């Protein structure tokens, strides 16, 4: 989103999803509505309607001990891998609901090797399963965080038992989701009535009218201006008297540093954009990349 504001690119949501896989395996998910069925490295995303309402509670319990992801995968016993079809599990969660789905379908194949590497982690999960108020408890990814869906009946006692324990931290959180054409909102804040405040989409999408697209551009320009205003201004020392002259070498050094900072920013942005171009060429071929509707990196930086 920052690159969009800086470059004023008009990219569709589909283009952002296509490009996000080149930035990282987890990036694509953040362009979903809050829930998605992801395959591959995580970059192949199928959007689904959020099965939990925005604001639904959960707790994340994180031991201070860490685990090496390669070590966890090395300890994986392939004979113990689940044989359940992932698509069937996805359909089941959507049909039965996250809360009502049986515990046996909450599957993370990396729990077995993680628990083998760190038995204390399994003991912690077993304790959390006994907490009244949690609907489901499962380790996240390759560990060591454990998420608990729901809210403890006695929250004070829960926090005293786990958050005040040495080597363990508790983060109480809430699920968030978004509607099509809008960005994520804090579920604790009141929803603004569209009649009172017009909702402007965060990006220009296919099918928009020229008027709608112009509103998006204006909204992004305002956001960019707000970002600029939030950057502290350089102090004005013109009225400060000094008895010592500033050596010319110091002044030239400062100018060189400023120029270097600007140059480094331009180089960094150019590197990102050129990397994206290479990704397009690898995915669509050189001809396909050149026929892409977006401007080339050199044009973006002009």
- pLDDT for residue 28: 82
Kindly state the average pLDDT of the residues 1-12: 54
At residue 1 the predicted structure's pLDDT band, cuts being 50, 70 and 90, is: low
- pLDDT for residue 266: 52
Kindly state the average pLDDT of the residues 76-92: 94
**Distant-in-sequence, close-in-space partners of 138: CB < 8 Å, separation ≥ 6:** 106, 108, 111, 125, 146, 147
Structure tokens at 21: 């896989």
Span 130-168, pLDDT tens digits: 999 999 999 999 989 999 999 999 999 999 999 999 999
Span 19-47, pLDDT tens digits: 777 777 778 888 888 888 888 888 888 88
Kindly state the average pLDDT of the residues 241-247: 46
Lowest mean pLDDT across 88-102, 182-196, 257-271: 257-271
Strands 57-63 and 36-39: unpaired
R_g (Cα) of the chain, nearest Å: 25
Distance CA 276, CA 140 (A): 30
- Domains parsed from the chain with CATH numbers: 57-174 (3.30.70.890)
Distance CA 82, CA 67 (A): 22
Residue 300 has pLDDT above 70, yes or no: no
Kindly state the average pLDDT of the residues 283-299: 45
Backbone angles phi, psi at 293, to 5 degrees: -75, -15
Span 212-242, pLDDT tens digits: 777 777 777 777 666 656 555 555 555 544 4
């Amino acid at each position: 989103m920052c690159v969009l504001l800086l470059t004023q690119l008009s990219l569709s949501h589909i283009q952002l999803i296509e490009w996000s896989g080149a930035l990282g395996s987890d990036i694509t998910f953040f362009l979903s509505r809050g829930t998605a069925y992801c395959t591959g490295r995580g970059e192949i995303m199928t959007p689904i309607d959020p099965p939990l309402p925005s604001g639904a509670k959960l707790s994340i319990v994180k031991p201070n001990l860490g685990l090496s992801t390669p070590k966890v995968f090395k300890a994986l016993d392939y004979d113990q891998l689940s044989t359940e079809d992932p698509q069937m599990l996805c359909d089941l969660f959507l049909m039965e609901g996250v809360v009502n789905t049986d515990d046996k379908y909450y599957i993370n194949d990396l729990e077995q090797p993680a628990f083998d590497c760190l038995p204390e982690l399994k003991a912690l999960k077993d304790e959390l399963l006994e907490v009244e108020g949690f609907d489901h408890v499962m380790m996240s990814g390759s560990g060591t965080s454990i998420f608990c869906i729901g809210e403890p009946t006695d929250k004070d006692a829960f926090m005293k038992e786990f958050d005040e324990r040495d080597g363990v931290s508790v983060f109480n959180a809430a699920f968030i989701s978004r509607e099509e054409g809008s960005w994520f909102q804090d579920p604790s804040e009141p929803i603004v009535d569209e009649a009172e405040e017009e909702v402007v989409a965060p990006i220009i999408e296919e099918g928009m009218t020229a008027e709608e697209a112009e509103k998006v551009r204006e909204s992004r320009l305002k956001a960019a201006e707000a970002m600029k205003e939030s950057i502290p201004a350089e102090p004005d020392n013109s009225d400060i008297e000094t008895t010592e002259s500033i050596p010319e070498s110091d002044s030239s050094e400062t100018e060189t540093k400023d120029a270097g900072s600007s140059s480094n920013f331009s180089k960094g942005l150019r590197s990102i954009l050129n990397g994206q171009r290479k990704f397009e060429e690898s995915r669509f071929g050189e001809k396909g990349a050149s026929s892409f509707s977006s401007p080339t990196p050199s044009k973006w930086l002009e």
